[in-house]
């Protein structure tokens, strides 16, 4: 599916200018998803990966991003073809006890996500202004709540695109100040490796990239375009350009996540420093790389924390409203309640965390544990002709999705064996 779509991009006989203008009209929903996997949880996982294992875990970013492209396109596929988000479709087409069980775990995953996002923003405020984390998290919460309750999807999209652009530019600057062993990095991007003791970080990287709440979010925000669901040709056109948006956005996310590991490997691993908190990473960058680097690091982390907290709130509202068979609508009480449950629960949990960095790592690991539930829910719904009609997954799509689901489940079993038995 993916290979065919990429080939189609270069073989279609369209005027380049027209095609480019069409693509740019569709850019937006993918960026909302992208900011979710360059969040503070990713920062913690990637800095830990780079500082502890150098370039060797870059392959996990690559394979996670490939899985993400397939899963996110499939999730958006559901939204475009049915007009329902993942949560609404589960409520409509599954038995209530089963759908509510799975959706309850998804809400818990959204809370775990929001915890990492809000905590990361508070850590950034502490880096920049010496504000205590328990106060900083309230500042982030207030700003995020203002964005969610007073702005439309389209305005939020513009904010997010701006945040992602600034984060990307920040890492271009950071990488320009360190010496990267590009040959070793190139090999590590495509060579799987499981260094001793790395499974928790591998799982946290997976959970930080392929995030359950993002699958729910993408199927919801793709509908903000209010596309026509009656004309099959129009739907196919929309699916094609949605894929361009997803591919473009996920590649940006891959580059930023890779940059985090590259920076940590070059700045910390090469001198034998193992980073166990983001504040330490920022402080160590100053003597190793320069004062400007440490400030840029903190500012980019703040942007990431705020932007990804917004998407976590969007996802929470979408999932909770979907339990009642409703779409996301910030003016609706169910959506508001879902947003509030996710953000406020996350803030309460933050006050019980003694080690913020470990909290970030564990939160991402928990996401990877919930991920198979969301993946298999998505496979069931998008493979059903009752749900999708003629747009149900074909054999190739189903095989790819099942491989991803089984791979993630296998890693979870491996994690259980290595940490419990």
Q: What is the pLDDT of residues 12-29, one digit of tens each?
A: 444 434 454 555 555 656
What pLDDT does 339 receive? 96
108-121: pLDDT as tens digits: 989 988 998 898 89
C-alpha 338/C-alpha 114 separation (Å) is: 12
Whether residue 84 contacts residue 78, with contact meaning beta carbons closer than 8 Å, is answered with yes
pLDDT at 87: 96
Structure confidence at residue 333 (pLDDT): 95
Q: In the CATH hierarchy, which fold is given to the domain comprising 2-419?
A: Amino acid/polyamine transporter I (1.20.1740)
pLDDT at 74: 93
Tell me the whole-structure pTM to 2 decimals.
Answer: 0.82
Residue ranges per domain, the chain?
2-419
| Ranges under pLDDT 70 in the chain | 1-30, 36, 153, 207-208, 224-237, 276-277, 279-280, 282-284, 286-290, 357, 360-361, 364-365, 415-416, 418-421
Overall residue count recorded for the chain in this entry: 421
pLDDT tens digits along 82-132 = 889 999 999 999 999 999 999 999 999 899 889 988 988 998 899 899 999
Q: How far is CA 231 from CA 80, 234, 385, 404, in A?
A: 12, 5, 17, 31
């Amino acid at each position: 599916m993916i290979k065919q779509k990429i080939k189609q991009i270069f073989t279609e006989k369209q005027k380049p200018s027209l095609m480019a203008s069409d693509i740019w009209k569709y850019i937006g929903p993918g960026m909302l998803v992208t900011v979710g996997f360059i969040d503070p949880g990713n920062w913690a996982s990637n800095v830990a990966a780079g500082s502890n294992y150098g370039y060797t875990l870059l392959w996990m970013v690559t394979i996670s991003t490939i899985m993400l492209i397939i899963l996110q396109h499939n999730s958006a596929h559901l939204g475009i073809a049915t007009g329902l988000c993942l949560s609404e479709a589960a409520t409509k087409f599954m038995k209530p006890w089963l759908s509510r069980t799975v959706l309850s775990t998804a809400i818990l995953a959204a809370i775990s996500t929001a915890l990492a996002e809000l905590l990361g923003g508070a850590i950034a405020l502490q880096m920049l202004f010496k504000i205590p984390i328990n106060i900083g998290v309230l500042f982030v919460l207030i700003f995020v709540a203002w964005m969610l309750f007073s702005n439309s999807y389209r305005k939020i999209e513009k904010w997010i695109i701006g945040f992602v652009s600034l984060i990307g530019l920040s890492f271009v600057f950071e990488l320009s100040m360190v010496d990267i062993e590009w040959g070793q990095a190139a090999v590590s991007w495509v060579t799987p490796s499981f260094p001793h003791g790395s499974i928790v970080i591998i799982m946290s990287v997976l959970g930080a990239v392929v995030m359950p709440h993002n699958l729910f979010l993408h199927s919801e925000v793709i509908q903000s375009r209010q596309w026509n669901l009656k004309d099959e040709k129009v739907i196919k056109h929309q699916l094609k350009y949605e894929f361009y948006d997803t591919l473009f956005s996920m590649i940006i996310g891959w580059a930023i996540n890779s940059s985090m590991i590259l920076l940590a490997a070059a700045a910390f691993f090469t001198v034998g420093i193992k980073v166990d908190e983001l504040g330490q990473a920022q402080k160590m960058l100053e003597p190793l790389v320069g004062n400007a680097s440490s400030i840029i690091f903190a500012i980019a982390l703040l942007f990431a924390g705020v932007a990804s907290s917004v998407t976590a709130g969007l996802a929470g509202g979408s999932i909770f409203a979907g339990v009642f068979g409703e779409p996301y609508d910030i003016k609706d009480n169910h959506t508001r309640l879902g947003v509030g449950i996710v953000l406020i629960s996350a803030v309460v949990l933050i006050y019980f965390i003694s080690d913020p960095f470990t909290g970030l790592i564990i939160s991402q690991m928990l996401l990877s544990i919930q991920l198979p539930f969301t993946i298999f829910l998505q496979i069931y719904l998008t493979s059903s002709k009752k749900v999708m009609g003629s747009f149900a997954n074909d054999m190739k799509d189903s095989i790819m999705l099942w491989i991803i689901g089984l791979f993630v489940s296998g890693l979870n079993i491996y994690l259980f064996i290595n940490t419990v038995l």
